[in-house]
Structures are given as structure tokens and as C-alpha cells.
Amino acid sequence: MHISAKLQAAAKEKKATYSFEFFPPKTAQGVQNLYDRMDRMHNFGPSFIDITWGAGGRHASLTCEMVKVAQTVYGLETCMHLTCTDMPKSKIDDALKEAHDAGCTNILALRGDPPREKEKWEATSGGFRYAKDLVKYIKETYGDHFDIGVAGYPEGCDDNDNPEELIQHLKEKVDLGGTFIVTQMFYDADIFLDWVKKVRAAGIDVPIVPGIMPISTHAAFLRRANWSNIHVPPHWHEALEPVKNDDAAVRDVGTGLVVELCRKLMDNGIQHLHFYTMNLAQSTRMIIEELSITPSQDTPLEKPLPWRQSLGLNRRDENVRPIFWRNRNRSYIARTQDWDEFPNGRWGDSRSPAYGELDTYGIGLKGTNEQNRKLWGEPKSFGDVATLFANYMQGKVESLPWSESPITDEADALRKDLINLNQRGLLTINSQPPVDGAKSSHPVYGWGPRNGYVYQKAYLEVLVSPELISELITRMERNPNITYFAVNQHGDLKTNSPDEGPNAVTWGVFPGKEIVQPTIVETVSFLAWRDEFYRLGSDWSRCYDATSPSRYVIDDLMQNWYLVNIVNNDFREQRGIFPLFDELEVPDLNKEITAPEAPQKVNGVTNGEKHEEEPKVGNGDVTDSKIPDSVHKKLETQINGAEEKPDTEPKDATAHNTGAGPSTSV
């Protein structure tokens, strides 16, 4: 969606909104850290984000990559900066095509700063000299596909401090196709408001977005203000000087000063604030929380669907997904990125989804082996694993191999039962409570258009030991409201599902619309998830030395335990799934497992045999696979890829100076 349309819609509703700027980090670990932060900051509810242009080879391509990830994976409406610096027309074309193909519909067109090795800006041969030329070219080439933002300078820029001339340049950019304005940072509200009046008097009527720089440290505050040559009100210096050596105090005092600035802007009709985050969350979060404009119980974050919607090319209308990837959104996007079309309205019985290879980037475990060992400990028994899962359910652990984010508020309704199951060795992977007609505005369960009602069937995905699987299946078969799938690593499938079609587990009823069924359980998708599930578990085991008890414990789980998903089709029955597990407990749960001593290796083999034992088959009472032939044919497209090695580059801790705004030049 175009930023200008978002701003106009918010203005019509008199709703305060905000956006965030990020820049490309210098290391691979820094990029991953930023992606995690962007994912968390999505919950703050920004209208959009923008990503600065990294001039030069790697950082330029990284900008395009970050735009793609933000749009497609995290569902963030993204504006890509694009500059004229060191950019011949051919590179401009490449960048615009990448943005277009990523589903991006917003560009901030800038002249850019001079390269570091040059004192003055010079046009690149075959490129553009001014931002207005870039605006014109984008408009001529892509028509109305891109909403084109341009830069505004309330206090001048480095090579022009003539305000009248700068406003004339601004008008030229708008006349050639600019549809919204983002300003350089400032700390004096009166200067900005006076400048806005002059801009409007010049006949410029597009939305104006003020650039706000949070204050994190005193040194950074002075450096950015001096670099941008902006006026700082005297009382700001008076407030910050006494605490300048205490970063926490500077952040607290600075938050109060910036909140004061923002309130004055909002009192004068400015409804959107754009924050230069410097890739940090805390200072920005403190400001918007103090302004009381973040999502809350009374004004929850609006969700079009119960899962994070992708804004990638051709995915904006996607509205049906399998529930299995609920906690691994990035993986689902990666494994479906080559689909020609995406489900809209219904999954369809005839659909044959070809899920991508398991070595696709974004599917493997995050973090290094060392980081994962620190996060998940070194289990020596199944009981240690059960404790890890129970701790995750209690919010004591931030993630698991199959859940990339902390436990959500939705789990509160099930938390006691989930903790109890895990403590008995029944390891819960995914779940949702039953919901019988909650308002679509409900702060936890709500999604979709206003004045609607949403429904859910109870769902549970659990890893079950071979000693318990037969008894559990017997109990599930007795309950007419239960449908289930149980499968092990070797593909032995047991199910009572009447057919291979989808079973909707989430749906919504909205005024003037057909019933929407955005979340389903379906055979082929579950078996594709099975491959990924056991692969992730295997990757987890490889975080430990081959002779360690932890490696042996996790390998046993992966080789012998069953992945089971259960749906209670009576959505009004509140505890319909959990009684199935009454009095079931893994025997000898806390018995420590001793890894066998490594035999002597001879020429790459051990006494002429393979290094590892052949995997064991699960409980013999489970019947042979009942995968239909038609499903077998569909599964021929599922390919297991090579092991993805975790990123081992150091954490990026370098503060990057983006210029504290869209650009310092016109």
C-alpha cells in the first residue's frame, strides 16, 4: 500500500501513527540481530518502515535484500531509500526492479551524500545529478506503482542554507511525482512548524512526515545535532548536561524532551512521526509508549489475518495457510517462494503444493552452536528436555528449535495444561485454544475487518514417546470429535482423517463477506512439515559433540518419537483435547542417558560398519503407513536438502551514522 494513502487514511480518522527507519548493518550477525528486532518491533504497529540505501557494492545489495525480507517475511510495509550517489542508470534500474519484485511500492528518492573519499558531491557518469531527476525517471518508468517520497530540510542542508531556494527545489520534486515528504531530523518544534507553513504557502500539499531522532547517549546526541547543523533549544542542553555521563539517565531525560517535542507537533495537527531508530528499539519504544500511541487492550494491533501477512509480490491476497508453520513464518515464506499463485479463499482439494528444499536460506536453526547450547542447555535425560519445554511455556526461555519467538498471549488459556503435559514428557510443539465467536477486535484472538466474529477449533501438536503412542491413538480413535495425524521420522503415518482435503481450524464471519478460513490442517503440508520438524531436531542435536549425552538424548527423540497433531472439531468444547492425555507419562523420564563410548575408527568406518546405528522404528503396535497413493505422488516433489550451517560471524555493534535523516542533499 502506498505510504501517502496510509497517511491520508490516518488523517481522516484523526489517528496518530508512526514509522521507523533502519540501515544495513556491517556483519551477517548484525543483519540477523536486526531482523529479530524488526520482527519484535512489528508488534509496535508501525505504519511502515524505511531502509536506507547502502552506497557501494555489498551494502547496496543488502538494502535490496532487507527490503525483500521486511516485505515478504515480516509483513512490514517498506520504503526503500534510493540515491544518485555512485549509481549509474543501470544500477538504478536493477535496484528498482528488485524493489518491485519484492512487492515494495514505496521509494524515497534522494540525491545522497558525497562518497567518503570526496569532499563534494559529483554526478556519476550515466547517472542523475539531482533528486528531482531520479523522481522523474521513477515516475516515467514505473508509473503509479511506486509512491515516491522526497526529502525536506527545515533547517537547510550541507550545501544550501537558503530556505526559499530549498522550498523551490522541494516543489520541483513534488511537481515531478513526489507524493510525500520526509524531513531531516530537528529538535526545535517551532522551526519545523514555521517551515511547514512556508511549504504550504508555496503550493505543496502532499503529506509531510517529521523526522524524529531519539536520544540514547549524550555523545551521540551532540554528534548528530552538530553533524546535521540543527538548532537545539537551550533547555535541552540544561536538562541533559547534569546526567551526561549516565546513559540510562540520558535516555530517560531525552525521552521526556523528545516526547515534549512530539506532543507539540501533534497538538499542531501533525499526526505521523518518523523515528530514526539507529537500529535500536528501546529509546523509540519509550517515546511511543509515553505518548500512549502503541497498541493496547483498548486499541489492539489490527491484524488482517490470524497469522503474519506477507506483503511480497503476488502474496498480498494470500489468505489461507497450514497451521504447522505458525511459529516459523520465515521458513514457510522461504519454502513457498517459488509458487506461481497463493491460496485465496480456499486451499482446494486439488492443490498439489510443492514445498521448497530444506537447505533454502531461512529454514535452518538460527544462531551458532554455542549460542544454542547456551539457550537450550545440555540435556542429559528426557526429563531435562521436558523441563526446557515447560520453561518455554512459562516464558523463561525465549525460543525452541521449532518456535522462533517467545510464547504468545494466546497460549494463556492453555498454559497450565501445556506446562503439565510437558512436565510429564509430552512435548508440545504448537497449539491454539478453542474460540467460539470472539469479536474480531478482541485484543488476543481478534483479526479481520471490524464488527466480525472469529472462531477456532482446539489444536495441539505434540511429540510423543513410542511407549505412549499406541495408547494415545486408541483414545483418539474413540472420540468422534477428534481427527489426528501421527507420523515418525521414517514416514510411518497413522490417521483417522476421512480424506486428504483440508480441515479449517480457524475461520471468521464478517459483515458483507463470505466466511474466511485462513488456517487449515492438511495431509501433504503436514508431511512436508514433518520433514522440516525432524530436520530441525537433527540440527539441534548437532549443536553438541558427537559423544555427548545431549546428542544422544535428542537423536533418540528424533529417531523414535512420533509427531502428532490433534484437532477437536467441536469448537465449543473447552478442554476436549487434554483429557486424552490423562495419566499418560513417559516412563523413567528423569533417568540420565549415557552416550555409548565412541568405538575406534578405522579408515573412516568403525570395525567395517557405518559410524551411526540405523535409526530405530517406532512402536511396533502402530499400523503400517496409510498415506494414500495420491498423496505419495504429491510428496515426490518434497526434497531434503543439505545441512545449513549456522551463521558464526560476530555480533554487529557498530553505530552507523545515517545522516539522521533521508539525506543531507537535494
Q: Are 359 and 644 in contact (CB under 8 A)?
A: yes
What does residue 544 show for φ and ψ, rounded to 5 degrees? Answer: -115, 155
Name the pLDDT band for 156 (thresholds 50, 70, 90): confident
What is the identity of the amino acid at 35? Answer: Y
**Above 70 in pLDDT, residue 614?**
no
Q: Are 49 and 19 in contact (CB under 8 A)?
A: yes
Name the pLDDT band for 661 (thresholds 50, 70, 90): low
Query: Residue 392 contacts by C-beta under 8 Å, 6 or more apart in sequence?
Result: 399, 400, 403, 407
CATH code for the domain in which residue 203 is found: 3.20.20.220
- What's the mean pLDDT in 348-363? 70
The two beta strands, 516-521 and 503-509, are: antiparallel
Task: Please tell me the distance from the alpha carbon of residue 222 to that of residue 595, in angstroms, as a whole number.
Answer: 58
**Above 60 in pLDDT, residue 233?**
yes
Q: How far is CA 29 from CA 344, 544, 648, in A?
A: 36, 21, 7
Task: Please tell me the distance from the alpha carbon of residue 213 to that of residue 201, in angstroms, as a whole number.
Answer: 27
Q: Are 414 and 431 in contact (CB under 8 A)?
A: yes
CA 123 to chain centre: 37
What's residue 612's pLDDT? 39
Q: Is the same domain home to 463 and 529?
A: yes
**Above 80 in pLDDT, residue 210?**
yes
Task: Please tell me the distance from the alpha carbon of residue 47 to that of residue 45, in angstroms, as a whole number.
Answer: 6
Q: Is 661 helix (H, G, I), strand (E, B) or coil?
A: coil
What's residue 662's pLDDT? 53
Q: Are 56 and 118 in contact (CB under 8 A)?
A: no
Q: Which helix (H) or strand (E) holds 460?
A: strand 458-464
Torsion sign over Cα 569, 575, 581, 583: negative
**Above 50 in pLDDT, residue 648?**
no
The per-type count for the chain, helices as H runs and strands as E runs, is 19, 18
What's residue 128's pLDDT? 86
Name the pLDDT band for 58 (thresholds 50, 70, 90): low
Tell me which residue has cell 534500474: 93
Q: Are 124 and 85 in contact (CB under 8 A)?
A: yes
Q: What is the pLDDT of residues 497-535, one digit of tens each?
A: 987 789 999 999 999 999 999 999 999 999 999 999 999
Q: Are 400 and 392 in contact (CB under 8 A)?
A: yes
Domain of residue 262, residue span: 3-287
Beta strands in 188-337 (DSSP E): 208-212, 272-276, 321-322
Domain membership of residue 647 (yes or no) is no
Q: Is the same domain home to 371 and 441?
A: yes
Q: Are 78 and 67 in contact (CB under 8 A)?
A: yes
**Above 80 in pLDDT, residue 593?**
yes
Torsion sign over Cα 490, 495, 499, 505: negative
What's residue 651's pLDDT? 35
Task: Please tell me the distance from the alpha carbon of residue 396 to that of residue 258, in angstroms, as a whole number.
Answer: 34
Q: Is the same domain home to 366 and 428?
A: yes
Q: Is the same domain home to 21 and 74?
A: yes
Q: Is the same domain home to 477 and 540?
A: yes
Q: Are 593 and 551 in contact (CB under 8 A)?
A: no
Over the Cα atoms of the chain, what is R_g? 28
Q: Is the same domain home to 367 and 269?
A: no
Name the pLDDT band for 28 (thresholds 50, 70, 90): confident
Q: Which helix (H) or strand (E) holds 69?
A: helix 57-72
**Above 80 in pLDDT, residue 639?**
no
Task: Please tell me the distance from the alpha carbon of residue 665 to that of residue 622, in angstroms, as a whole number.
Answer: 70
Name the pLDDT band for 60 (thresholds 50, 70, 90): confident
Q: Are 529 and 330 in contact (CB under 8 A)?
A: no
**Above 50 in pLDDT, residue 486?**
yes
Q: Is the same domain home to 164 and 216?
A: yes
Burial letters 449-465, b for 16+ CB under 10 A, else e: eeebbbbbbbbbbbbbb
What's residue 500's pLDDT? 75
Task: Please tell me the distance from the alpha carbon of residue 601 to that of residue 374, in angstroms, as a whole number.
Answer: 30
Task: Please tell me the distance from the alpha carbon of residue 266 to that of residue 260, in angstroms, as a whole number.
Answer: 10
What's residue 353's pLDDT? 62
Active site residue ranges? 21
Name the pLDDT band for 378 (thresholds 50, 70, 90): very high
Q: Is the same domain home to 199 and 329?
A: no
Q: Is the same domain home to 562 and 448?
A: yes
Count of C-beta atoms within a 10 Å radius of residue 84: 25
**Above 80 in pLDDT, residue 640?**
no
Domain membership of residue 138 (yes or no) is yes
Q: Are 647 and 28 in contact (CB under 8 A)?
A: yes
Rounded to 10 deg, the angle between the 549-560 and 382-393 helix axes is 80
- What's the mean pLDDT in 67-95? 94
Domain membership of residue 658 (yes or no) is no
Percent of residues, the chain, with pLDDT higher than 70: 85
What's residue 621's pLDDT? 39
Domain membership of residue 644 (yes or no) is no
Name the pLDDT band for 425 (thresholds 50, 70, 90): very high
Put the strands of the sheet holding 453-456 in their side by side order: 321-322, 516-521, 503-509, 453-456, 435-439
Instruction: Point out which residues pair with 21 in neighbouring strands.
Output: 50, 276
Instruction: Point out which residues pair with 435 in neighbouring strands.
Output: 456
Q: Is the same domain home to 404 and 282?
A: no
Q: Is 421 helix (H, G, I), strand (E, B) or coil?
A: helix
Task: Please tell me the distance from the alpha carbon of residue 360 to that of residue 643, in angstroms, as a whole number.
Answer: 10
268, 287, 306 — which closes off a domain?
287
Q: Which helix (H) or strand (E) holds 260?
A: helix 247-267
Domain membership of residue 245 (yes or no) is yes
**Above 80 in pLDDT, residue 634?**
no
Return mean pLDDT, the chain.
87
Q: What is the pLDDT of residues 299-335, one digit of tens each?
A: 888 899 999 999 998 899 999 999 999 999 999 999 9
Q: Is the same domain home to 258 and 198?
A: yes
Give me 419's grid cell: 506446562
Q: What is the pLDDT of residues 242-287, one digit of tens each?
A: 999 999 999 999 999 999 999 999 999 999 999 999 999 999 999 9
**Above 70 in pLDDT, residue 646?**
no
- What's the mean pLDDT in 611-633? 38
What's residue 663's pLDDT? 45
Number of domains in the chain: 2
243, 264, 287 — which closes off a domain?
287
Q: Which helix (H) or strand (E) holds 93?
A: helix 89-101
Percent of residues, the chain, with pLDDT higher than 90: 74
What's residue 341's pLDDT? 87
Domain membership of residue 656 (yes or no) is no
**Above 50 in pLDDT, residue 398?**
yes
Domain membership of residue 645 (yes or no) is no
Count of C-beta atoms within a 10 Å radius of residue 12: 8
Give me 202's grid cell: 508555496
Q: Is 116 exposed, middle or buried (0-12, 13-18, 19+ CB in 10 A)?
A: exposed
Name the pLDDT band for 348 (thresholds 50, 70, 90): low
**Above 80 in pLDDT, residue 544?**
yes
Q: What is the pTM of this model?
A: 0.84
Give me 31's grid cell: 543483519
- What's the mean pLDDT in 443-453? 95
Q: Is 60 helix (H, G, I), strand (E, B) or coil?
A: helix
**Above 80 in pLDDT, residue 641?**
no
Domain membership of residue 649 (yes or no) is no
What's residue 119's pLDDT? 59
Query: Residue 414 contacts by C-beta under 8 Å, 6 or more apart in sequence?
Result: 431, 433
Task: Please tell me the distance from the alpha carbon of residue 655 to that of residue 456, in angstroms, as a whole number.
Answer: 45
Name the pLDDT band for 618 (thresholds 50, 70, 90): very low
Q: Is the same domain home to 61 and 152?
A: yes
Give me 334's grid cell: 522461504
Q: What is the pLDDT of residues 94-146, one digit of tens each?
A: 999 999 999 999 999 998 765 555 556 566 666 788 899 999 999 999 999 99
Q: How far is CA 305 from CA 381, 406, 447, 449, 615, in A?
A: 40, 20, 5, 9, 40
Give me 27's grid cell: 556483519
Task: Please tell me the distance from the alpha carbon of residue 567 to that of residue 305, in angstroms, as a whole number.
Answer: 20
Task: Please tell me the distance from the alpha carbon of residue 469 to that of residue 622, in angstroms, as a whole number.
Answer: 8
Give me 113's grid cell: 551524500
DSSP for 8-19, written as a single string:
HHHHHHT--EEE
Instruction: Point out which residues pair with 463 in neighbouring strands.
Output: 427, 563
